[in-house]
Amino acid sequence: MYKAKESPFIWIAWIVLALMYGSVLDNGFQYIAYASIILFLAFLTISYEFEVKEGRLLYRTLILRKVIGTREFQVTDIKKISFIKFAKRTLIVIHPKKGLRIKLKRFEPAGLSEEMLEFSNEHDIDKEVFGKMS
């Protein structure tokens, strides 16, 4: 199982902004700013899990360690997989036949790109490769 966390920079910026506005707003609107801070703190805990299983891919989104969304792709549901290599990182984009695509980046441990390349070869899924894959 591969895991990734959301980048905290944007949420910390929103928290700082909400703190600044909360300190200068009137009492009624001040509570809205403070409630948004609590919401942004919860968003800081967003994480993702991705599993490559026999003939299917499983993608989960978690907040506060609780699963809030799951997407499962059977081999027949996938139109193509794109591999975009830049520097030392590889971005993987799964294009389903129906629905929104999924971008896989910052997943740990290393080796997801090799496993996904093997998965696409094994199941004859169309693939696009940008950059040099090792």
Helix pair angle (27-43, 9-24), 10° resolution: 170
User: Between 60 and 87, whose confidence is greater?
Assistant: 60
In eight-state DSSP terms, residue 75 is: G
What pLDDT band is residue 62 in, cutting at 50, 70 and 90? very high
Q: How far is CA 50 from CA 4, 46, 73, 89, 131, in A?
A: 9, 14, 11, 17, 23
The answer to whether residue 125 scores a pLDDT higher than 80 is: yes
134 pLDDT band, cuts 50/70/90, is: low
- Could you tell me the end-to-end alpha-carbon distance of the chain, in angstroms, rounded to an integer? 22
d(CA 90, CA 74): 23
